[in-house]
Amino acid sequence: MAVGLVLSFLAASIIFPLFTLIFCGFLFVQNLHKRHSRIPGPKRDSFIWGNVKEFQPQHNKKARFLVFEDLVGKHGSVLVTWDMIKPVVTVSDPEVLKSIFKPADFKDVSSRGEFETIFEQRFLGKGGKFDSCSFFDKKFMERQMKNFNHCCGAFLEELKKRANGGDEVKMADMFSKLTSDLIAKIAFGFDLNCIADSDVPFYKALRACQEASWWKLCNPFHKWDIGSYDYQNDVIEAVKYLRDFGKKVIDSRRSAMEEGEAILEDYLTGMFRAVDVDSSLTFDDMLDEFVTVFIVGQDQLTSLLSNFLLVLFQHPLIEEKLYEEAINVVQGSRDVAIEDLDKLNYMYCVTKETLRLNPPIPAVSMETTKEEKLGGYLIPEKTTVQIIPYIMQTDPIAWSNPKEFNPERFMESKELSIAAQLPYCLRKHCYINDNFAECLVKALFPCLLQKFKFVLVPGQDVRPQEELTILPKDGVLCTMTLI
């Protein structure tokens, strides 16, 4: 009898708090739904899972940003979707967008917030405290043409080894190696040399971390996934390797500066100068920035180059015009010179149009710091507000024939409003800016077009695949021959 009473008491002491917790959770979610109920959007599939099913690959074969494009068409330029119990407001009205750029009212909460740590290991930390976008200005990039040409030359030599007309080459992977070498050389002053050797430990660790970042987003319950612990431990070791490597690079530069040696005028030197000016910046901030520029910047540039090449396959007349410009400006096999850059006008326009229709980053997220009115709807405080660059850049109000690939539109106006053109997204999302992208394209493709004939492997899937960046799904498989 006494034992039964004790067990009943224990059961009640467990069940009642658990029931109370569940009931409070229910009221919390219900209140969230109520506070956002006036904002239009698709019907939730369930109370807890929200609209998750809408974006699952097995339910919808489109990339997420294309699903959002459909939703905007149905529900308007301001809408709410539910990532389980988290409301996300999507804004696609150019006029509304302007208010989101007020730092006092909206806090930047890009995906880096998800990656301050990865599997409990410090990863990107607070990356973004340094202004990489302003540092990579046009004059700096022009001074780096020697390094651009050196890396692009090594890339072309590696392609020659595969230019037999039979071997299939995944160009996205090749571009990934090129952009890694470029960032290492131009931003941080060291040679990575992964173009010729994909077994370089730094590159392998970098790719492992990039892949794990997406895996983490797709597996929100990974903390309790015992079967993936070995994989997570491997990623932790890769992160440690990147950060240890970065520490050695930074320490080496600091020692050289202290000993009065001649110092490279690169981004790393700029970071040291920023630390001298701003005492709140620390060594850990520099290390976070080192990793962040590689993880995010390398992916962005790879996306651009892959989509640029794909455009040439899809638009032969544009390829022909680019070829004519290349042989007129950069004749033969010589390197691209500084004075050539401004002459490659059509290549500039194709780059901008490629970024317009193929933005590297799927979405940019902000968070309201107070209750805001967007498009006539009250958005509660601490609500995630996201911008989909692709939707903004194909807005028929801002663009004529928005889905048509038309580089000539940039011949008329090189400067368009931020509400219309968001190539590398916004502010701190812009790790590798337009100047870097433009110089890379102009250093690489004039020689590439004159030396190689590419053939796209038939039957592959070239639809956009959304992960941390947007890439053609099969990576642009090609065969090539020398011209």
In a domain, 11, yes or no: no
- Are 217 and 273 found together in one domain? yes
Residues 6+ apart with CB under 8 A from 25: none
Q: What's 63's domain CATH number?
A: 3.30.43.20
- Are 311 and 329 found together in one domain? yes
In a domain, 424, yes or no: no
In a domain, 322, yes or no: yes
In a domain, 14, yes or no: no
Tokens of 340: 């050539």
- Are 224 and 276 found together in one domain? yes
pTM (two decimals): 0.90
Residues 6+ apart with CB under 8 A from 336: 145, 148, 149, 330, 442, 443, 446, 447
In a domain, 371, yes or no: yes
- Are 390 and 329 found together in one domain? no
SS3 313: helix
- Are 223 and 154 found together in one domain? yes
- Are 289 and 310 found together in one domain? yes
Q: What's 222's domain CATH number?
A: 1.10.630.10
CB 455 within 8 A of CB 478: yes
In a domain, 422, yes or no: no
- Are 150 and 90 found together in one domain? no
Give residue 90's pLDDT. 94
Give residue 251's pLDDT. 96
Residues 6+ apart with CB under 8 A from 416: 398
Pick from 360, 433, 359, 430: nearest CA to 186: 433
Would you give per-residue pLDDT tens digits along the chain (483 residues)? Answer: 566 665 565 666 677 777 777 878 778 888 888 898 899 999 998 888 888 888 877 666 788 999 999 999 999 999 999 998 899 999 988 777 776 666 555 666 654 467 888 999 999 887 667 877 777 888 888 888 999 999 999 999 999 999 998 899 999 999 999 999 999 999 999 999 999 888 899 999 999 999 999 999 888 889 999 999 999 999 999 999 999 999 999 999 999 999 988 888 899 999 999 998 988 899 999 999 999 999 988 999 999 999 999 999 999 999 999 999 999 998 776 789 889 999 999 999 999 999 999 999 898 888 888 888 888 899 998 899 998 989 988 988 888 899 999 999 888 765 454 444 554 444 445 556 778 888 999 999 999 999 999 999 999 999 999 988 999 999 999 999 998
Domains in the chain: how many in total?
Answer: 2
- Are 71 and 148 found together in one domain? no
- Are 236 and 338 found together in one domain? yes
**Domain enclosing residue 58, as ranges:** 38-117+362-401
- Are 242 and 98 found together in one domain? no
- Are 106 and 206 found together in one domain? no
Q: Rounded to whole angstroms, how far apart are CA atoms 152 and 8?
A: 75
Tokens of 95: 């006029």
Instruction: Looking at 264-387, list the stretches that DSSP marks H as alpha helix, in order from N- to C-terminal side.
Output: 267-277, 283-292, 298-314, 316-329, 338-341, 345-357
SS3 427: helix
**Distances in whole angstroms, Cα of residue 5 to Cα of each of 12, 194, 310, 373:** 10, 70, 73, 57
- Are 245 and 390 found together in one domain? no
Within 13 Å of residue 275, how many CA atoms lie on the same side as its CB? 16
In a domain, 377, yes or no: yes
State the CB neighbour count (10 A cutoff) for residue 8.
Answer: 10
Give residue 149's pLDDT. 92
In a domain, 28, yes or no: no
